[in-house]
């Protein structure tokens, strides 16, 4: 009985997707080229696959194979298939791994892949939204491969962005740009860690980071987060709470000039302070080290009095809030008293 169902199902797929020698009245390519019609076709497959779940994998493989032969179809036929595929992706009937067929060299070279992707993503986003699309792409590792829809000489974020924005898919362009930015940050962090491990001078590291900021347009606020993570990732920390604080102070004292180079703005300082708070909370053996780290960076002119007070009164995050505020209480009081004394001296001078 199951064999009969499979044969009947394969026969239906072949007739609907026109992969038989003669086309029938059910053939997708003879239907109207509109979203409503494609949704009706998708519903047929959706009902079948939901009823016979074991057919899902075979169906996905057939779609993958079919996409490799896009050059054999007319533009209108490709449009219909792209719209249907987008809806099937939105319904979860097939996974985004089928997109690997679009990276076929011949399809890419002729521009067929990019044009097909436009129709596919439009119908997919129409059914769901860009967040759902992004999640599906990430699940199968396709989120960083979209550039492969274009030939090597056009495989740039700028070209991708223009092509899909002009086609009315700005959300997809923004997603791809964001993915490239994330990738660039990861590479930068990796290189920074390697430079520190090799014992490069701070002067050379600072010069490298500044050059990368120019190239990639990464803001100082973003960069200080990358620098902090890199600095804290180059050490194998002691697991004993009483020893890790001393180790951290010694390490950060060495790299304080690097942190100072990328905290020229108040917002960058606050970003760093929040990163420190988050790090000390996430790494439990650093919980008692927070105050000592902040004081060290204050003395090294990395963190200013104004930013520390702002963090204490209003800008801290919830993570470990009660513990860290209590740790900082005496130091903050000292800062406030020092500020009052300074103001008093200025008034007397006037």
CB 149 within 8 A of CB 103: yes
Report the C-alpha gap between 141 and 126 in whole angstroms. 22
Report the C-alpha gap between 269 and 47 in whole angstroms. 56
Report the C-alpha gap between 223 and 207 in whole angstroms. 13
- Same domain, residue pair 146 and 231: no
Report the C-alpha gap between 87 and 94 in whole angstroms. 10
pLDDT tens digits for the chain (350 residues)? 444 444 444 444 544 455 444 455 567 888 889 999 999 989 988 888 888 888 888 889 989 999 999 999 999 999 999 999 999 999 999 999 999 999 999 999 999 999 999 999 999 999 999 999 999 999 999 998 999 999 999 998 889 999 999 999 999 999 998 888 888 888 899 999 999 999 999 999 999 999 998 888 889 999 999 999 999 999 999 888 889 999 999 999 999 999 999 999 999 999 999 999 999 999 999 999 999 999 999 999 999 999 999 999 999 999 999 999 999 999 999 998 876 665 555 555 55
Q: Does the residue 94 lie in any domain?
A: yes
- The residue segments making up the domain with residue 234 are 214-345
- Same domain, residue pair 9 and 117: yes
- Domains held by the chain: number: 2
The pTM score is: 0.65
What letter would DSSP give residue 318? S
CB 328 within 8 A of CB 305: no
Nearest to 64 by CA among 94, 44, 22: 94
Q: Does the residue 191 lie in any domain?
A: no
Q: Does the residue 188 lie in any domain?
A: no
Q: Does the residue 165 lie in any domain?
A: no
- Same domain, residue pair 147 and 223: no
**Which residue's structure tokens are 């800062």?**
335
Dihedral, CA atoms, 190, 192, 194, 200, nearest 10 degrees? 170
Give φ, ψ of 263 to 5 degrees. -130, 50
Q: Which of 110, 125, 152 is the last residue of a domain?
A: 152
Q: Which of 103, 136, 152 is the last residue of a domain?
A: 152
Q: Enter the tokens of residue 20.
A: 């038989």
Report the C-alpha gap between 290 and 275 in whole angstroms. 11
Q: Does the residue 203 lie in any domain?
A: no
CATH classification at residue 336? 1.25.40.180
The number of CA neighbours under 13 Å toward the Cβ of 43 is 6
Q: Based on C-alpha coordinates, what's the Rg of the chain?
A: 29
- Same domain, residue pair 269 and 139: no
Long-range contacts of 25-33 (CB under 8 A, 24+ apart): 28/80, 28/81, 28/84, 29/73, 29/76, 29/77, 29/80, 29/81, 31/80, 33/76, 33/79, 33/80, 33/83
- Same domain, residue pair 123 and 223: no
Report the C-alpha gap between 241 and 198 in whole angstroms. 28
- Same domain, residue pair 120 and 222: no
1-32 pLDDT, tens digit each: 444 444 444 444 544 455 444 455 567 888 88
Q: Enter the tokens of residue 186.
A: 């990861």
């Amino acid at each position: 009985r199951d064999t009969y169902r499979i044969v009947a199902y394969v026969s239906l797929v072949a007739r609907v997707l026109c992969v038989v020698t003669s086309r029938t009245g059910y053939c997708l390519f003879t239907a109207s080229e509109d979203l409503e019609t494609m949704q009706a076709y998708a519903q047929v497959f959706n009902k079948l696959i939901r009823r016979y779940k074991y057919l899902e994998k075979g169906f996905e493989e057939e779609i993958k194979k079919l996409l490799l032969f896009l050059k054999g179809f007319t533009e209108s036929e490709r449009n219909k298939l792209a719209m249907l595929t987008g809806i099937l992706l939105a319904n979860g009937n097939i996974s985004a791994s089928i997109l690997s067929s679009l990276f076929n060299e011949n399809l890419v070279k002729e521009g067929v892949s990019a044009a097909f992707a436009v129709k596919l993503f439009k119908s997919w986003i129409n059914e769901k939204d860009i967040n759902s699309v992004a999640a599906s792409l990430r699940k199968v590792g396709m989120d960083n491969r979209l550039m492969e829809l274009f030939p090597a000489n056009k495989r740039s974020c700028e070209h991708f962005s223009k092509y899909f924005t002009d086609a009315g898919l700005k959300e997809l362009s923004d997603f791809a740009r964001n993915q490239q930015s994330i990738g660039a940050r990861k590479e930068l962090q990796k290189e920074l860690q390697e430079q520190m491990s090799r014992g490069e001078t701070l002067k050379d590291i600072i010069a490298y980071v500044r050059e990368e900021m120019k190239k990639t347009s990464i803001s100082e606020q973003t960069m200080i987060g990358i620098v902090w993570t890199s600095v804290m990732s180059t050490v194998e920390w002691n697991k004993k709470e009483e020893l890790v604080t001393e180790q951290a102070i010694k390490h950060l004292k060495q790299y304080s000039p690097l942190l100072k180079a990328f905290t020229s703005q108040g917002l960058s300082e606050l970003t760093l302070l929040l990163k420190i708070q988050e790090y000390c909370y996430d790494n439990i053996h650093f919980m008692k080290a927070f105050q000592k780290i902040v004081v060290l960076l204050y003395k090294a002119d990395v963190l200013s009095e104004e930013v520390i007070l702002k963090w204490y009164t209003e800008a801290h995050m919830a993570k470990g809030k009660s513990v860290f505020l209590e740790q900082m209480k005496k130091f903050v009081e000292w800062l406030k008293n020092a500020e009052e004394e300074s103001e008093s001296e200025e008034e007397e001078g006037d």
